[in-house]
Each structure stands twice: as structure tokens, then as C-alpha cells.
Amino acid sequence: MKVAILAGGNGTRLAEETVLRPKPMVEIGGHPILWHIMQHYRHYGFSDFVIALGYKGECIRDFFVQQCAVAGNLRVDFRSQWISPAVTPQPYESAAPSVVDLIDTGESTQTGGRIKRLAPWLDNETFMLTWGDGVSDINLEALLRFHRSHGKLATVTAVRRPERFGCIEISEGVVTSFQEKQNKPNDWINGAFFVLEPGVLDYIEGDSTQFELEPLQRLTAEGQLMAFQHESFWQCMDTAKERQLLQSLWDSGNPPWKCWTYALRGQE
């Protein structure tokens, strides 16, 4: 199953970091937050990624080119000026995903438009989707089981968040109201980590469509949006304060979103 990650926004609320790099490349514990998100999916067996690039997309391309070069053993033949994989086995399990498609979706394209532009790489099949700036300890297997159990077009992970977010009203698992930026304390909010059927793409008109607005509201009105209610850890990284929070959790030695256990070049 493909995992789509939107990584093209400007990250204006984190301008002190994003003036030089896109928000998904802002580091937590020495690794970009995008890397953390991908390790979460990979832990549950999802290793085929499609990443929507936009603002400073070249930084993300450079990161994966470098990861590809250093993730395994290489042979550098100076006589032929050729670089190829070495034939000896790796001494550790690679933390790199299996396949990553990096797709330029334009700097000014809105979230819905970015998703629509990824359609040729989604194989007209059920796919997962999340933003490139939030981590969680969501059980992705349970999320997928829930999606498959209800037969609707879309599942959103609903999480608790008391400030500056809109709210989701839920009745017996069905989303009955989806309102962005309404600031109702302690209610459910859109935590991303979606599972979507390809029919959702028909709800997106074009590049100027914000997925959080008309598409999700139409899906809600038609009873096609279900909520996977997640009570445990979830945290986005929109501001410097939130980035510092995530860094402090990583420094504690037990970050709640870290489910993977293999080593990366001798480091946890």
C-alpha cells in the first residue's frame, strides 16, 4: 500500500527554521521529522512512499539521494569512475524505506491539489496519507483494520488537541461535522494519518483546493468520512515551541512516537 506524505508547504509559523529548508526537513534528534514519520510507517510494514514536494523541494531530494548513497555498502571504482552497490551484506538493518517517489507538486499548490497531482503514483488503490510535520504513536495496523471494516471512502485519525485547531464532531464513528479553525477546547481534531480510497480524488477540483475544507466537508455531508479515534500521543510541529517540545521528548530517551528498534549506523 502506498503512503502519501505532503511535504510542500511553506511552514511560515516556523520561519526561523524554514527560511533555509522545508519544514519536513527540520530535525528532531538529528533526523528530519519526515524521517521519523517514515520510520513509523515502515515499522508497520508500509515502505512504499510518495512524497509531494513544493517549497524548497530540492532539500528533500538531496536528503534522499544522500540516504541512498550511504544506506548500503558501495564500491567506488576510480579507474572507471563508476559507483555501484557492494556485494557484501550490510552489517546492520537499514533504516531507509524501500521505495520513495519524490513528486514536484508546485510551490503554490494547496493540499488537495498536491494529493490530486500524486494520483498517477497511487495505482488507483487504497492509500494512506499524512502531513510531513506531525508524529504519533498510532497503531497503523489498527487504523487500516478500522478503515476496511466500515466500507466508506475515507478515514481520518481524530486526536485530542485543545488549542488553535478546528474540531470534528463524531457520532458512532461517523464524522457528522468537520469545521477547521473553530477553537473548541478538548474536542476531537484532524490529526491526519488518513486512509483513503481512490474515489476521494474525485472530490478534489484542482490545485487551489484545500483538502481540509471542501473535500472533507463534502465527504462528511455524504457520510463517507469515518473517524479513527486516537486517545494517545500525537503532536504536530508548527512552531518553534512545538519543535522544542519534540526535541525534549527525544532527549528524554523515550520519545512516545518511536516504535522502531533497529539501529542506524550504530545509533538508535
Surface-to-core class of residue 119, CB atoms within 10 Å of its CB (0-12 exposed, 13-18 middle, 19+ buried):
middle
Tens of pLDDT, residue by residue over 218-247, are 999 999 999 999 999 999 998 999 999 999
Q: Which residues pair with 103 in a beta bridge?
A: 52
What are the respective helix, strand and coil percentages of the chain, to the nearest 5?
A: 30, 25, 40
Mean pLDDT computed over 40-54: 95
How far apart are the C-alpha atoms of 158 and 78, rounded to whole Å?
Answer: 54
Question: Does residue 184 carry a pLDDT above 50?
Answer: yes
Q: What are phi and psi of 116, to 5 degrees?
A: -60, -40
Closest alpha carbon to 175 in 224, 133, 135: 224
Question: Does residue 22 carry a pLDDT above 80?
Answer: yes
Q: Residue 178: what pLDDT?
A: 77
Strands (E), 132-173: 134-136, 154-160, 167-171
Tens of pLDDT, residue by residue over 194-207, are 999 999 999 999 99
Q: Residue 207: what pLDDT?
A: 97
Q: Residue 161: what pLDDT?
A: 72
Residue 258, C-alpha cell as written in the block: 518511536
Run of H or E residues at 57:
helix 57-70
Instruction: For residue 206, count other CB atoms closer than 10 A to its CB.
Output: 11
Closest alpha carbon to 57 in 135, 3, 114, 122: 114
SS3 call for 202: helix
Q: Which residues pair with 134 in a beta bridge?
A: 236
Q: Residue 82: what pLDDT?
A: 67
Cβ within 8 Å of residue 113, ≥6 positions away? 105, 106, 204, 206, 207, 208, 209
How far apart are the C-alpha atoms of 161 and 186, rounded to whole Å?
Answer: 6
Q: Residue 268 — pLDDT band, cuts 50, 70, 90? A: very low
How far apart are the C-alpha atoms of 40 and 97, rounded to whole Å?
Answer: 11
Residue 113, C-alpha cell as written in the block: 491539489
Cβ within 8 Å of residue 15, ≥6 positions away? none
Closest alpha carbon to 106 in 61, 59, 56, 62: 56
- What domains can you pick out in the chain, each with its CATH number? 2-251 (3.90.550.10)
